[in-house]
Amino acid sequence: MPSLTSVKAALATQAIETPSWAYGNSGTRFKVFAQPGVPRSAFEKLDDAARVHAHTGVAPTVALHIPWDKVDDYAALAKHAEDQGLRLGTINSNVFQDDDYRLGSVCHPDAAVRRKAIDHLLACVDVMDATGSRDLKLWFADGTNYPGQDDIRARQDRLAEALSEVYTRLGDDQRLLLEYKFFEPAFYTTDVPDWGTAYAHCLKLGDKAKVVVDTGHHAPGTNIEFIVASLLRENKLGAFDFNSRFYADDDLMAGAADPFQLFRIMYEVVRGGGYTPDTAFMLDQCHNIEAKIPAIIRSVMNVQEATAKALLIDREGLSAAQTSGDVLAANAVLMDAYNTDVRPLLADVRSERGLDPDPISAYRRSGWADRIATERVGGAQAGWGA
Ligand code: PSV
Ligand code: MN
Ligand code: MN
């Protein structure tokens, strides 16, 4: 069995990145429900993220989405983060909201549109230089809706060309993270639909290119932990975008729909040596109907709980059962860890770090929700449709 001290130490050093856009108003294509007190600027999003970190102790970085979080002075934004004990994290690019991108961005048939998209990606690297961010996350809405609409292979060539130009621009300590998604907004072909395509492009680019696994971006029934194991084996897993889904890319709270899947994923992370700062553990979700800050705290706690259970697995016992072919015993080792109530353990980890053992009630007692509802008027939409 792993020692409790080592499990606690591993949990105390966990880092989960929260997305700036989860703090703003969001919704579906049918309706954006405005909530009181939502941030009016990137600076205020950081103020909210600081509350999540203050109560959980494990959310020290915030991902930005450009241009949703466009500011005149990124160094000032980084300083604002630092003043609150935070750092700016991954820079997410956005080449999917301009009219020009109707037929795609870096895969668009028109070279002028491709140039515009690549220039945005290069500008995102400039932002990284100013914020001190390590990672550039690329997700492309590119694809086609109808057979014959465009040349599938030519689009891959255009994609490779664009990625290569951006990769060349990266500094020594910067990385390119390529995110895949099987459909939406394109419905016939998607240019980066799966981990195989992302992996093939990253392999060609080099060591600084890694794949992002967004847990909401697979067909129902996909064994995501297998993908995680495979990418870690190849040293190509760069990051997670955690969220939950019941149907498609639902972007619900991580660990809400299927905590068992999150546990299985975290087990492969631990098993494959991915529980290190080389893997960015990010949330990518929206809180359309629930209060945002406590929902983000809840999501962070859900990831912590899945991680704690994964760390508690009796790896020696598991290995012995696997080697002897004892199917039931091997499965029981995993289920014993999964069925452990890790909440008291995590409460201890927090108390030992001087934090309230119950982050959600500590947040509620803090009065922050009332304060922002009074002080902030006219909060911002997260970005979709903005
Ligand atoms: C696309 O569905 C995605 O998962 C990408 O990470 C985007 O940048 C993000 O959502 C925007 O919410
Ligand atoms: Mn994502
Ligand atoms: Mn998504």
- Segment 117-129 shows an average pLDDT of 98
- Give the distance, in angstroms, between the CA of residue 300 and the centroid of all CA atoms in the same chain: 11
Instruction: Give the number of whichever ligand sits closest to the CA of residue 213.
Output: 2
Residue 386's pLDDT is 40
From residue 17, how far is each of 136, 299, 334, 339 by CA, in Å? 14, 11, 27, 26
List, in order, residues 6 or more apart from 287 with CB less than 8 Å away: 22, 26, 253, 295, 296
Ligand 1, from 23, 25, 28, 92: best to mutate by most atoms within 8 Å of Cβ? Answer: 92
* Ligand 1 pocket check for 142: Cβ under 6 Å: no
Span 274-323, pLDDT tens digits: 999 999 999 999 999 999 999 999 999 999 999 999 999 999 999 999 99
Does the residue 7 lie in any domain? Answer: no
User: Which residues are CB-neighbours of 105 under 8 A, at least 6 positions away?
Assistant: 95, 96, 113, 114, 117, 140, 141, 142
> Does residue 250 line the site of ligand 1, with CB under 6 A?
no
For residue 286, which ligand has an atom nearest its CA? 1
Q: For residue 57, what pLDDT is reported?
A: 98
Give the Cα separation of 96 and 68 in Å (integer): 12
CB atoms within 10 A of CB 354: 7
Amino acid at 81: A
On whether residue 383 sits in a domain, the answer given is no
* pTM exceeds 0.95 for this model: yes
Would 119 be classed as within a structural domain?
A: yes
Q: How far apart are CA 175 and CA 28, in angstroms?
A: 31
User: What's the structural domain count of the chain?
Assistant: 1
Which distant-in-sequence residues (6+ apart) come within 8 Å of 370 by Cβ?
A: none
Of 105, 89, 33, 130, nearest in space to 382 by CA: 33
Find the Cα–Cα–Cα–Cα dihedral 359, 360, 366, 370, rounded to 10°: 150
Q: Hey, what are 180's tokens?
A: 């895949």
How does the average pLDDT of the chain come out, rounded?
97
Q: Within a domain: residue 231?
A: yes
Q: Is the CB of 179 under 6 A from ligand 1?
A: yes
Q: Does some domain include residue 141?
A: yes
Give domain status of residue 368, yes or no.
no
Residues 6+ positions from 324 with CB-CB distance below 8 Å = none
C-alpha angle with apex 72: 68 to 74, nearest 5 degrees?
80
349 in a structural domain: no
Whether 92 lines ligand 1, by a CB cut-off of 6 Å, is yes
CB of 241 shorter than 6 A to ligand 1: yes
For the chain, percent of residues with pLDDT exceeding 70: 99
Closest-approaching ligand to the CA atom of 137:
1
Band the pLDDT of 1: cuts 50, 70, 90: confident
- Rounded Cα gap, residues 274 and 211, in angstroms: 13
Does the C-beta of 284 come closer than 6 Å to ligand 1? Answer: yes
- Name the H helices within 272-340: 292-312, 315-323, 327-338
- The bridge status of strand 87-92 relative to strand 135-138 is parallel
Which residues on neighbouring strands pair with residue 135, listed in sequence order? 175
Distance 191 CA to ligand 1 centre (A): 15
Q: What is the pLDDT of residues 131-166, one digit of tens each?
A: 999 999 999 999 999 999 999 999 999 999 999 999
pLDDT band at residue 385 using 50, 70 and 90 as cut-offs = very low
Q: Which residue lies with its CA nearest to atom 12 of ligand 1?
A: 284
Domain that holds residue 58: 12-312
Domain CATH code at residue 55:
3.20.20.150
338 CB within 6 A, ligand 1? no
Q: Provide ipTM, 2 decimals.
A: 0.98
Cα 383 to Cα 22: distance, rounded to the nearest angstrom: 10
